[in-house]
Amino acid sequence: MDQPLTDERRVFPGPVETSRALAGRLGELAHAAVRGRGRFALALSGGSTPVGLYGLLAGEYAPRIPWGKVEVGFVDERAVAPDDPRSNFGLVRRTLLEPLERPLARVERIEGELRPLEVARDRYERTLREMFETSSGAPEAPPSFDAVLLGVGADGHTASLFPGAGTLSESSRWVTVERQPALDPRVERITLTLPALATSRRVIFLVLGESKRPTVERLFRDPHRGTPEGELPAARVRAREGVEWYLDAAAAPETSRRGRK
Ligand code: 6PG
């Protein structure tokens, strides 16, 4: 147990090619999930990296996704209202949901405006329990998103799981509160935990730009990547069916750019 899972790295010349490849991949995964289980449950991240991807999904790639069977959840949220420019839901609404103009089966946001934040945490956890209840109604059914889209910060954080933070040792909750995020925007956050990410079928990291390369290098050098002993938070992420990395050449370490898997 706790063996690092093999992961797949895909490197493309620039951010647009990378985002296009990932939009196509999400289409494949969505159709496979709908064929197998009747729906595609997708968790989305905020930040600046996925904006191009969301635009493609809302436009050119929209016909390739069975939107009526797509259920969207969120990886994390900032403690702000949905119309605040820092809101992850707000970003997804502006860049994907509104321009798409098609109904989805379900969109479940994290209510970052609620106080205390524990109320938002508990409400989102309840939503996930209901969303991922097994047919037998087992209350402890794990959150099993078909795909979770993650970004990586320059400090190696992912979701709102920051290096050295107490949130990293959360072992039972699916959702937790981060009071002091180490990077901007320094507003409190609500985030999926490592155990909640680990029960998803597939995690896909999208990392673009030269500023992330030293972090990606550090992640790929980590012999414990994909286990709880991984050095940086992003290195501790696992998924039941594998982790995929979509990188542009600027973000990819030399070895990956030469096509090494
Ligand atoms: C958030 C994100 C976060 C993000 C990374 C990378 O709420 O900020 O979910 O985990 O993916 O910080 O952010 P950038 O894409 O802006 O570099």
Residue nearest to atom 3 of ligand 1 (CA): 159
Confidence check: pLDDT of 2 > 80: no
159 lines ligand 1 (CB under 6 A): yes
For a ligand 1 pocket test, name from 18, 44, 49 the mutation site with the most ligand atoms within 8 angstroms of its C-beta.
49
- Name the more confident of 185 and 255: 185
88 lines ligand 1 (CB under 6 A): yes
Dist. CA 93–CA 110, nearest whole Å: 13
Distance 2 CA to ligand 1 centre (A): 26
Residue nearest to atom 13 of ligand 1 (CA): 47
Any idea what the Cα angle at residue 42 is, between residues 16 and 111, rounded to 5°? 105
The whole-model pTM stands at 0.95
Beta strands in 118-260 (DSSP E): 147-150, 175-178, 189-192, 203-207, 243-248
Confidence check: pLDDT of 143 > 90: no
Confidence check: pLDDT of 136 > 80: no
Q: How large is the average pLDDT for residues 138-149?
A: 80
Per-residue pLDDT of 220-255, as tens digits, reads 999 999 999 999 999 999 999 999 999 999 999 987
